[in-house]
Amino acid sequence: MTGKIALLTAAALMVPVQAEAQRADPRPAYHFAPKRNWMNDPNGLVYFEGEYHLFYQYNPHGDRWGHMSWGHAVSRDLVTWQELPVAIPETADVMAFSGSAVIDWKNSSGFGQGGKPPMIAIYTGHNPKAKLQSQYLAYSNDRGRTWTVHGEVLSVGSPEFRDPKVFWHEPTKSGVMIAVMALENRAVIFTSSNLKQWTFASSFGPAGGRGRNWECPDLNLLPVEGGKPGEQRWVLSINLGDQAVGGGSGGQYFVGDFDGRRFTPVEGWGGEPVWTDYGADFYAAVAWNDLPKDDPRRIWIGWANDWRYAEAIPTYPARGIMTVARSISLRKTAQGYRLTQRPVRELESLRSGEHISRQLPLGKEPVSLPIEGGAVDLKADLSWEQSEQVAITLTDGEGYQMVIGVNPAVNEVFVDRSRSGPHFHDGFANRHVARVDLSRGKVSLRLLVDESIVELFINDGEQTITDRFFRGSGGLRWSASARGGPAMLNVTAWPIKPEVQR
């Protein structure tokens, strides 16, 4: 669960929303969004009997944060989603904040029936009257369709103890929970043999980026590309409610070792923050538990929003979308270990016609690209010798522009949404930058655009920039240009089939 109450009374609510902001927003073609109402953090990501479950923070009663419950959607391919009824609703005293889900294969909890393992959800119960946040357990014996709340299983008497990620640690044969003491910028680890009784194991932090709060932790064992044969490292991801690299909320990560009780970062890690994403709209990312044994990937998904303006984004009747699911690993670089993120391969099944332009010369005057529509998967290879800037620009019918580009002289790849649409919040218009070595005169970009979101993957996912944009009226026109010297573009683009949600 995220920075919620304090943040909402600050930036998001202080800036008025223009009246026209409530016009209907184009439905995303391949990013999950509920049919209506408010959505934030992904919760309870688990795979079971052929279905990927996506639970999420949801307000069944409106399009602003409140009445927090667990919404629910399922998919068989990670890209087409079926929205289901609310899974875990709030009660009179307790909201269902963020958490996780596991399959209790050995029925250690005792909640299974008929020899089948139960699905267990462990989440933060937020009791505003008692000013208490503690961890609750609920279980399901029908593939997550209906839930029974068992009740509180862990409390430390704090109003800011939340967001448990639970997983099975095979070497120690125990369940592990990592949660946060949010205001202390500290992650806490507990262990359990039955998912009901939990024992404190260790604490981590403060370290790296500090903010008003830490939130939504995750701990994943990832393969290392370019490392020793079979090398793996644990990655602890932590989200910040504010003061992240994009100017508001965002994520950071730490690389190290985990023995089932304590996370220890590699030498030198924990000073300057290392960011998960360099845009403003990638938050609360967590990975799926219990993926099929024949699928070695670690896959996560994030909420595409920022707590500065989350309640003010000009969408209707739903407010909030998820990113695409991303496969994550580590890569050994000159700067050390770096997180690599790639869109899941299943996304390619949604591509329709292919549009290719090779050796397209770019100059000062924009060149139209053979791309149509606002739902596109695009791969671009840019090269140059003396260019000051090379850019791909999306222009709407009113002349608003979203710019994705590179500035070779200062080694930066950027997304500039400062003039991408009508003003709706003072904290939105901005330019977000990832530092990239451009000394070789080339860069590879993968660009996912879906009506109101850009997900940019740089050099095969070594860095990412995720940004929402809310354009004016009319369709999007695509063009490319180079300033200060010629450049060359090879581009392949695929329109994405619409109506991938039910």
Cβ pair 7, 242 in contact under 8 A: yes
CA torsion 204→207→208→211, rounded to 10°? Answer: 100
> Is 341 inside a domain boundary?
yes
The number of helix segments (H) and strand segments (E) in the chain equals 2, 33
> Is 83 inside a domain boundary?
yes
Q: Is 166 exposed, middle or buried (0-12, 13-18, 19+ CB in 10 A)?
A: buried
Domain that residue 389 falls in = 351-495
Confidence label for 501 from pLDDT (cuts 50, 70 and 90): low
Phi-psi region at 295: left, alpha or beta (left = phi > 0; alpha = psi -120 to 50):
beta
> Over pLDDT 90: what percentage of the chain?
90
Looking at 312, 345, 378, the residue that finishes a domain is 345
Looking at 315, 345, 375, the residue that finishes a domain is 345
pLDDT at 335: 87
Confidence label for 15 from pLDDT (cuts 50, 70 and 90): very low
Cβ pair 488, 358 in contact under 8 A: no
- Both tokens of residue 423? 């003003």
pLDDT at 245: 97
**143-152, 223-232, 252-261, 397-406, range with the lowest pLDDT:** 223-232
Alpha helices (H) in 272-427, listed in sequence order: none
Higher pLDDT, 8 or 72: 72
Cβ pair 68, 95 in contact under 8 A: yes
Direct distance between the N- and C-terminal alpha carbons of the chain, in angstroms, rounded to an integer: 26
Give dist(CA 238, CA 263) in Å, integer: 13
* Co-location of 317 and 220 in the same domain: yes
Confidence label for 2 from pLDDT (cuts 50, 70 and 90): very low
Give dist(CA 335, CA 472) in Å, integer: 40
Tracing tokens 């205001």 back to the chain, one arrives at 183
Angle value at C-alpha 72, between 68 and 74, nearest 5 degrees: 160
Confidence label for 14 from pLDDT (cuts 50, 70 and 90): very low
* Co-location of 139 and 37 in the same domain: yes
Cβ pair 494, 377 in contact under 8 A: yes
For 375-387, how does the pLDDT look when each residue is reduced to its tens digit (9 = 90+)?
A: 999 999 999 999 9
* Co-location of 333 and 363 in the same domain: no
pLDDT at 498: 66
| CATH label of the domain that carries residue 443 | 2.60.120.560
* Co-location of 291 and 359 in the same domain: no
> Is 48 inside a domain boundary?
yes
Give dist(CA 181, CA 191) in Å, integer: 16
Tracing tokens 């089939």 back to the chain, one arrives at 497
> Is 71 inside a domain boundary?
yes
Tracing tokens 């580590």 back to the chain, one arrives at 330
* Co-location of 122 and 19 in the same domain: yes
Total structural domains within the chain: 2
The total of other beta-carbon atoms located within 10 Å of residue 113's CB is: 11
* Co-location of 362 and 476 in the same domain: yes
pLDDT at 9 over 50: no
* Co-location of 288 and 416 in the same domain: no
For 463-488, how does the pLDDT look when each residue is reduced to its tens digit (9 = 90+)?
A: 999 999 999 999 999 999 999 999 99
Cβ pair 39, 57 in contact under 8 A: yes
pLDDT at 23: 58
* Co-location of 305 and 392 in the same domain: no
pLDDT at 4 over 50: no
Rg, C-alpha atoms of the chain:
22
* Co-location of 384 and 256 in the same domain: no
Confidence label for 24 from pLDDT (cuts 50, 70 and 90): low
For 182-210, how does the pLDDT look when each residue is reduced to its tens digit (9 = 90+)?
A: 999 999 999 999 999 999 999 999 999 99
Give dist(CA 154, CA 151) in Å, integer: 9
| CATH label of the domain that carries residue 302 | 2.115.10.20
pLDDT at 10 over 50: no
Annotated active-site residue 41? The verdict is yes
* Co-location of 386 and 255 in the same domain: no
Average pLDDT of the chain to the nearest whole number: 93
**2-11, 164-173, 297-306, 330-339, range with the lowest pLDDT:** 2-11
Confidence label for 26 from pLDDT (cuts 50, 70 and 90): confident
Cβ pair 194, 187 in contact under 8 A: no
Looking at 310, 345, 380, the residue that finishes a domain is 345
Catalytic residue among 41, 63, 290, 306: 41
> Is 8 inside a domain boundary?
yes
What's CA 202's distance to the chain center, in Å?
26
> Is 500 inside a domain boundary?
no
* Co-location of 71 and 189 in the same domain: yes
Average pLDDT rounded to a whole number, residues 91-101: 97
> Is 502 inside a domain boundary?
no
Phi, psi of 69 (to 5 degrees): -135, 175
What's CA 14's distance to the chain center, in Å?
26
For 280-307, how does the pLDDT look when each residue is reduced to its tens digit (9 = 90+)?
A: 999 999 999 999 999 999 999 999 999 9
Give dist(CA 89, CA 97) in Å, integer: 10
Give dist(CA 111, CA 107) in Å, integer: 7
Confidence label for 1 from pLDDT (cuts 50, 70 and 90): low
Higher pLDDT, 333 or 119: 119
Q: Which residues lie across from 66 on neighbouring strands?
A: none
* Co-location of 340 and 392 in the same domain: no
Average pLDDT rounded to a whole number, residues 437-456: 97
